Structure 1
Amino acid sequence: MKSRNIHIISKTTRIISFLLIYSLQFNNNCNAADFDFTPNLQKAYSEVFKLRVQAGRELLTKENPKNPFRIYVEDFADMAELINSENEKQYEKLLSKEDERLEAIEDLDEKSPYNRFLRAEIKLHWALIKIRFGHEVKAGYNVIQAYKLLEENQKLFPSFLPSLKSLGCLHVLIGSVPDKQRWIPKLLGLRGNIQLGMNELRSAAKDKVWGTEARFCTTFIQAYVLKYDAKQNTEMLQFVDSQSDNMNINMVATAISLKDNRTEQAIELLKKTPKDANYLYFPIFELYKAETQLFKGNYPQAVSSYQTYLRNFKGQTFLKDTHYKLFLCHWLLGDEKKTKLYLSKINEGGNTIAESDKAAQKFYENFQKTKTLPSKALVKLRLLFDGGYFEEAQQELSTLSEKSFTNTKDQAEFNYRAGRIFQKLNQLDKAISYFERSVAITGSQEWSFAPNSALQLGYIQQQKGQKNKAKAHFEQAIAYKNHEYKTSIDNKARAALTEMGY
């Protein structure tokens, strides 16, 4: 039974972990004597949130070490640095700080809503840190404890916006868990509801203190859990412009742009990224630069940025994906020696916490089984699409057909890629026929093309008002097992079903 519980906690943690980093701000209307959120501490928090971590730490030295807000901001700063560096020795050194800080706050005024809220936030910080360092079960316990503290706080102080904002994020994430897995959070006492969570975030967005953070969280959730459209993209760009000195917001906006096939937009955002020495250096920006060059077909420039990431990042995240991308670049450049080198490196290091790393590892393992590389034509088609160059992708597509490929997997991928291209060009009837063909060809194979196609069919039919057909396809997307994008596809399908009232 114990091993089953551990499995449940680990699985739940995977489902909701990726958004915890954004539950990080709190109200400044503090009345209890123990909780003094001074203007200087507010400034320190703001600096850390913008990723000017050292400036924030310097401001903290002027405050009483026992002030719970100083304790909280120190914890926030530690989290930002640990997640960025993935420094194992520093992690071991700081691990005891979690309990020390929680005990220091717990002993303070229990009548203050900040007592439970700050403890919950510290637990969420350390949940994310533990996930990054591969301790998912321990992180799962943190999430459960934090959730229960926040729920209790909301019952005791229903108008306290910080709890409302943090619970909003968790309610959306837990509410996006697919039907067949909903017993897991229920068993653990976690309650989720997408509409409730979004309403909570919208309420928090009206607050003069919490408005920016709530909007930040809403944008992230919309892009990574729900649906993201042109209107929301415009609002995100306006948000970035209004916070031009905030590297954190710029970083997330760049990631969303790349995810949403907006390479040219990502390039412009990278130009606006704050670059002076006051900001913490984030190697992830090197990956963003590399991605923009890869999508544009500038492979030597992409190689340079990927290698810069490898030189400057000492952790394990995105290593497999980076080596996979370096393999792609050299393969497309025709450098056989480096192609073999980077193909082998996919299996030599890094972890598989991120879906892109998981996909890279699966690519390597499939190659070892089949000794067959994918079609270069399909790879180029995918890169053009991923970059948002849809008309160029359509031109490449016009030179191909299903008969251009001899194996079933390539045929399934061709139809999926064609469907996505025509979907983006708003030629929906063509897109539907290609998606349906991809599903038919895939059959019971553990490829991601069929669940992805089913998800997109659901979106198209939802757009057309064909509610029953959309429901069937979202459920079909969830039913596929063991593909590398299962978590994200299931979350999106579940969210769409909830939006339609199922």
Structure 2
Amino acid sequence: MFNEKSKATDFDFTPNLQKAYAEVFKLRVQSGRELLSKESIKNPFRVYVEDYADMVELINSENEAIYNKWSSREDERLELIEGLDEKSPYNRFLRAEIKLHWALIKIRFGHEVKAGYNVIQAYKLLEENQKLFPNFLPSLKSLGCLHVLIGSVPDKQRWIPKLLGLRGNIQLGMNELRLVAKDKVWGTEAKFCTTFIQAYVLKFDAKQNAEMLQFADSQSDNLNINMVATAISLKDNRTEQAVELLKKTPKDAAYLNFPIFELYKAETQLFKGNYPQAVTSYQNYLRIFKGQTFLKDTYYKLFVCNWLMGDDKKAKLYLSKINEGGSTVAESDKAAQKFYENFQKSKTLPNKTLMKLRLLFDGGYFEEAQQELITLTEKNFSTPKDQAEFNYRAGRIYQKLNQFDKAANYFERSVALTGTQDWSFAPNSALQLGYLQQQKGQKNKAKAYFEQAIAYKNHEYKTSVDNKARAALTEMGY
């Protein structure tokens, strides 16, 4: 099957296959698979869309048995496509896409090194394709993502991609994604990638938020876009926006069931202070989801809810469960594990006032948080760690209320109190101080703060802090 003589007509992306791809991207996986069944099993676009569908199902379910059963499909599909017309730009493009699908799958199943090899191979295929077919737009979708991600690698680790021959540039990558965003077939996915990168790697401000909402409204039947918009809203302190997006979530049976929506519902209730309702949704997630991701974070949040409701016995039961299961791939799971380990060392629970301040801030309830702040000073807290956290939380709240000088004073104090400790408040404060100086046009001062943020080691938010600081430095031309 793999050695048949091939022709340019091998790569026929029929309207039916384009529809199947669109269905899978919307997370209507079964409908997509039904459309695929009408196409030849040798059509490389059928192979590609089937691979996409497999990726969606595996990442959603985290079913180890199915992963082991399906893992041989990667090489089979790559071999089939490689044996087709080499003169078509789709040959290398589709192989690179499949490599990237399996990179994401491998990361989810804890095989980071294997995933890294996939990314390197995909990058090489896409770069080669771009040289051979410079006007071929689809390659820029994934190449753009890779250019941004490689470009945001911190200075001290830049030798790694350089050694591997990987070239990164944030501005180039974003421009490439914007070009593909105009494409009729690949444009929606390119816009999706741009939104994701803007929120999780670069800076996400009111302009990007408005663009995201417009994008979600224009694709109201796309569960994938609704899901990422909800996740970003929660991450960006926009609980009420997340609530509205959850009301618009497409819900008919054609869509794959995603347990993560239970977590999103739980987060909105937690931030609003509706702890019993939050507990119900967190428990639903644990009941429905059979994988490992966000388990530690969910147990941590169940601890928080019960603790804030005054049920210390139940709270400590959930606290102990953090160490009993789940992975530490996601930053929130890493943070939950670190919280558990710190508790084991100190045997002291966090400060309830600080926890409530944090939840008000995380939910985007800045005015309410300010009302709490008015009654507090650093002296209300007895340990240096609590004092450092208080100053960081106060800084973030005043920053969101556009009281920038006041915010900067609190951030500086948090950095001073942290000293050489591995608490995350100082690197996060340094990052925000960098943004405040960047806003003022003080490039040298901003640079110093961003470099200071990157210099902190061993805190649970290192990946995201470093990525954002690196992206800001690149944006300023450093």
TM-score (norm 1): 0.93
- Cα pair 2:18 2:185 within 8 Å, conserved: no
> C-alpha distance in 2, partners of 1:173/1:395?
39
* Residue aligning to 1:263: 239
Q: Does 1:58 align with 2:34?
A: yes
Query: How far has the Cα of 1:79 moved from its partner?
Result: 0.4
Matches within 5 A, 1:237-276: 237-276=213-252
> C-alpha distance in 1, partners of 2:8/2:243?
47
Which AA in structure 2 matches 1:299?
Y
* Residue aligning to 1:372: 348
* Residue aligning to 2:420: 444
> C-alpha distance in 2, partners of 1:33/1:203?
26
* Residue aligning to 2:43: 67
* Residue aligning to 2:373: 397
* Residue aligning to 1:90: 66
Q: Does 1:322 align with 2:307?
A: no
Query: How far has the Cα of 1:205 moved from its partner?
Result: 2.0
2:14 to 25, 38, 56: 38
* Residue aligning to 2:396: 420
> C-alpha distance in 2, partners of 1:137/1:232?
33
> C-alpha distance in 2, partners of 1:197/1:251?
24
The sequence identity of aligned pairs, in percent, is 87
> C-alpha distance in 1, partners of 2:375/2:336?
28
Per-residue displacement from partner, 1:234-268 (whole Å, max 9, x unpaired)?
A: 11111111000000000000011001000000000
Query: How far has the Cα of 1:181 moved from its partner?
Result: 0.8
* Residue aligning to 1:109: 85
* Residue aligning to 2:159: 183
Q: Does 1:234 align with 2:210?
A: yes
Which AA in structure 2 matches 1:248?
N
Matches within 5 A, 1:108-127: 108-127=84-103
Q: Which moved more, 1:219-228 or 1:482-491?
A: 219-228
* Residue aligning to 1:18: none
Query: How far has the Cα of 1:165 moved from its partner?
Result: 1.6
Gaps of 5+ in 1: 1-30
* Residue aligning to 2:267: 291
Query: How far has the Cα of 1:383 moved from its partner?
Result: 0.1
> C-alpha distance in 2, partners of 1:147/1:38?
27
Query: How far has the Cα of 1:398 moved from its partner?
Result: 1.2
* Residue aligning to 1:172: 148
Q: Does 1:459 align with 2:435?
A: yes
Which AA in structure 2 matches 1:288?
Y
> C-alpha distance in 2, partners of 1:394/1:205?
40
Per-residue displacement from partner, 1:51-77 (whole Å, max 9, x unpaired)?
A: 000011111111101110001111100
> C-alpha distance in 2, partners of 1:196/1:368?
46
Which AA in structure 2 matches 1:466?
Q
SS at match of 2:13: coil
* Residue aligning to 1:99: 75
Q: Does 1:198 align with 2:162?
A: no
* Residue aligning to 1:156: 132
Q: Does 1:80 align with 2:56?
A: yes
Per-residue displacement from partner, 1:271-300 (whole Å, max 9, x unpaired)?
A: 000001000000000000000000000000
> C-alpha distance in 2, partners of 1:80/1:469?
44
Per-residue displacement from partner, 1:390-423 (whole Å, max 9, x unpaired)?
A: 0000011111110001101000000000000000
Which AA in structure 2 matches 1:224?
Y
> C-alpha distance in 1, partners of 2:140/2:281?
41
> C-alpha distance in 2, partners of 1:198/1:340?
45
How many residues are treated as equivalent by the alignment?
A: 472
1:309 to 256, 269, 285: 285
Q: Which moved more, 1:31-40 or 1:412-421?
A: 31-40
* Residue aligning to 2:196: 220
Query: How far has the Cα of 1:207 moved from its partner?
Result: 2.6
* Residue aligning to 1:334: 310
SS at match of 1:126: helix
> C-alpha distance in 2, partners of 1:192/1:65?
36
Which AA in structure 2 matches 1:255?
A
* Residue aligning to 2:319: 343
Q: Which moved more, 1:202-211 or 1:461-470?
A: 202-211
Per-residue displacement from partner, 1:63-116 (whole Å, max 9, x unpaired)?
A: 101110001111100000000000000000001100000000000000000100
Runs of 4+ more than 4 Å apart? none
> C-alpha distance in 1, partners of 2:190/2:323?
40
Question: What is the CA RMSD across the aligned residues, in angstroms?
Answer: 0.8
> C-alpha distance in 2, partners of 1:471/1:135?
35
- Cα pair 2:20 2:35 within 8 Å, conserved: yes
Which AA in structure 2 matches 1:471?
K
Q: Which moved more, 1:412-421 or 1:203-212?
A: 203-212
> C-alpha distance in 2, partners of 1:210/1:116?
16
- Cα pair 2:231 2:264 within 8 Å, conserved: yes
SS at match of 1:161: coil
Per-residue displacement from partner, 1:183-212 (whole Å, max 9, x unpaired)?
A: 111111111000111111122223333332
> C-alpha distance in 2, partners of 1:345/1:473?
38
* Residue aligning to 2:3: none
SS at match of 1:483: coil
> C-alpha distance in 1, partners of 2:296/2:118?
28
Query: How far has the Cα of 1:215 moved from its partner?
Result: 1.8
TM-score (norm 2): 0.98
> C-alpha distance in 2, partners of 1:173/1:481?
20
